[in-house]
Amino acid sequence: MNNAVAGFSKLSKKEKINWIAKEFFSNPEEAQNIIRNYWNSDEKLQQLHDEFIENTITNLYIPLGVAPNFLINGKYKTIPMAIEESSVVAAASKSAKYWATRGGFKATVIDTEKIGQVHFTFNGDAQKLEDLFHQIKPKFFSDTQSITKNMQQRGGGILDIQLKDKRNLLENYFQLHATFETRDSMGANFINSCLEQFAETLKEEAQNAGLEVQVIMSILSNYVPNCVVRAEVSCPIEDLTDKHITNPQDFADRFLQAVQIAEAEPFRAVTHNKGIMNGVDAVVLATGNDFRAVEAAVHAYASKNGQYSSLSHAKVENGIFTFWLEIPLALGTVGGLTSLHPLVKLCLEILQQPSAKELMEIVAVAGLAQNFAALRSLTTTGIQEGHMKMHLNNIINQFEASEEERHLIKTHFKKTAVSHSAVVEFIESLRK
């Protein structure tokens, strides 16, 4: 079998599917049917999806759910979440309900600064380069006026440009380090367009001054340590009580210790932060934002002090329990998929058309809610009981249980611990 193919991108969609079906499957017709079953019956809608990326053959569906009852800064929100992992939406919803009766979530955007860089080398007198930079700095702004005009009208634009000497990292390495405000757009295209013009201006002005610079690349940075939002919950310790928390002081102590372990121990911190990102990514994806960029930025931020650590923190002061996180989130509510994808537009409508700042607050709250739910389970009943009950549906579907079998299985496991082997064994006993 030869899996190499020439000119694949030039083939029609039908030809691509035929090649894949014949090349990789013993039953090509069955493979083609599976691929076609996931097409949208609306041809225009399917074409829209086909054109989001290259070499499209079909759609991979991820469930879109909602978590209601989030009281954020005094207003109720129903949060859309796109995720395939069971128990995430349920956990977020439970946290929302829990904190709605204890003052709700407070969220604050600390800053919205985004970053882009022109990376270049210069082998010469650094003082001459610095003098040139200060001389031509106004020209960076004037040469990008046509690019920044509309953004400036919306209250955004270029905030500052700095020359950074990075020769301690690499030989002859310098940067133009620029900061931006992009308002409600994520701003990637805007930032990159500005940076490319900065590079042209730098090369031209350096040549005029008899200095030789070599531009390596011009690109935004997804690390945005000054585009940060804080989300928190707090209440008197005695208000923490519920059916699972009979001793609120003991719960608060155990909760704080669990957070402290994640602050100190990287192996735990990674799993701890992954739980936060279950909530964050689900909302980022549902609102058409770039969850890969968010993930990269968040995990870099978790390492900003030299060791990977917890993104969330907890304390008890004067009898008040407080749990919070601060994370970098570069998000947008205009442009890109937000104006193209029908379900993304629907999700933003559910969120009552938030600004980028408001979306930052909502996403951070979803992450904190998810983290609280996980730590609450871990320090009380344990996380597996609830998780495996949610996972039961996946196992039932895997074995294509009939309606009668489904009823018997769910009835049996209401009082029996769920494990994959236990469910399989019960299904086999039914079918005997």
Residue 255 one-letter amino acid:
F
- Please name every residue paired with 92 in a beta bridge, in sequence order, or none if there are none: none
Task: Decide if 274 is catalytic.
Answer: yes
Contacts of residue 163, Cβ cutoff 8 Å, sequence gap at least 6: 129, 130, 133, 174, 175, 176, 177
CA dist., res. 71 & res. 76, Å (int)? 4
412 given a catalytic annotation: no
Is 49 a catalytic site residue? no
Active site residue 295: no
CA distance 281 to 295: 8
Residue type, 308: Y
Is 44 buried (19+), middle (13-18) or exposed (0-12) by CB count in 10 A?
exposed
Residue ranges of E strands in 106-252:
106-109, 114-122, 157-165, 173-181, 213-221, 228-236
Residue in 355, 321, 363 with CA at minimum distance from that of residue 338: 355
Active-site residue (options: 106, 341, 387, 391): 387
Task: Name the residue among 348, 305, 311 with its Cα closest to residue 328.
Answer: 311
In the set 85, 200, 326, 405, the catalytic residue is: 85
Instruction: Tell me which of 13, 97, 274, 389 is the catalytic residue.
Output: 274
Instruction: Fill in the amino acid letter for 66.
Output: V
Catalytic residue, candidates 196, 290, 358, 361:
290
**Phi/psi at 80 (nearest 5 deg)?**
-75, 140
Report, as residue numbers or ranges, the catalytic residues: 85, 274, 290, 387
